[in-house]
Amino acid sequence: MYHTGNMVKELAEKHGRKRESLMPILQEIITKHNYLTDDAMVAVATELDISAAEVYGTASFYTFLDTKERGRNVIRVCKTITCSMKGKNDIISTLEDILKIKVGETTPDKMFTLLETNCIGWCHKAPAMLINDMPYTDLTPETVIDVVKGYMR
């Protein structure tokens, strides 16, 4: 869990306090912390003068606006058809082995969350995944280990 502190107030100063400011504010919290706490959502509601249910209702619609606790690095492996055909399952099992978690889980040290996601637009270089915002493509069980190790340091 992170402390909301002044963050939401500062983001409201930056993006404004209109309804259309909601997505940019939530997205920037995600960029910083990878998920939205109840505290953060209530603070956004207060700043924008809308109900907290509106904030949660909007956030929960979007896959990337997670409202469950996530690790510092969120791994999203593409599971749509081409990646699936080109060895997505091997990538997932390699990741599960080295991180010692299952899809949907977060490592105890809160460093990694492993998720599956729908098409991320790299079908010509399948299998592919995102770590936070960065895409990694043409993955093999060998290269995916190197990629993840780069985030362990």
Partner 1 sequence: MKNKGLTKVDLIFESTDVRKVMKKAFEMTSNEIIEQILESGLKGRGGAGFPTGLKWKYTAAEKEPEKYIVCNADEGEPGTFKDREILDKAAAKVYAGMAIAGKAMGARKGFIYLRGEYRFLLPQLYVELHKFHKLINEIGYDFSIEYRMGSGAYICGEESALFESIEGFRGEPRNKPPYPTVSGLFSKPTSINNVETLVTAMMIIEKGAGEYVKLGTKDSRGSKVFSISGDTPIPGIFELELGMTVQEFVNEFGDGDTKAVQVGGASGFCVPRKKFSETIIGFEGVPTGGSMKLFNSSRSMYNVLHNYLEFFTEESCGQCTPCRVGCQQLYKGIEMVKKGESKSTYLNELVKLADTMKVASKCGLGQSVGNAFRSIVENFREEIIY
CA distances 82 to 19, 61, 78, 131, Å, are 38, 25, 9, 19
* Segment near partner 1 (CB under 8 A); pick from 1-9, 19-27, 32-40, 93-101: 19-27
Beta bridge partners of 75: 114, 131
Q: Which of 3, 20, 68, 108 binds partner 1 (CB under 8 A)?
A: 20
Q: How far apart are CA 110 and CA 102, in angstroms?
A: 14
Residue 92 sits in the site that holds partner 1 (CB under 8 A): no
Q: How far apart are CA 48 and CA 14, in angstroms?
A: 13
CB 44 within 8 Å of CB 26: yes
Q: How far apart are CA 144 and CA 128, in angstroms?
A: 10
- Interface of this chain with partner 1, residues 96 to 115, rule: CB under 8 A: none
* Segment near partner 1 (CB under 8 A); pick from 22-30, 67-75, 99-107, 140-148: 22-30
Tokens standing for residue 28: 């920037």
Q: Which of 1, 32, 38, 121 binds partner 1 (CB under 8 A)?
A: 121
Residues in the chain: 153
* Segment near partner 1 (CB under 8 A); pick from 34-42, 73-81, 102-110, 141-149: 73-81
Residue 82 sits in the site that holds partner 1 (CB under 8 A): yes
**Smallest separation, CB 12 to partner 1 (Å):** 13
Residues in contact with partner 1 by CB under 8 A are 18-24, 26-27, 30, 57-58, 61-65, 79-82, 84-85, 117-126, 130, 133-135
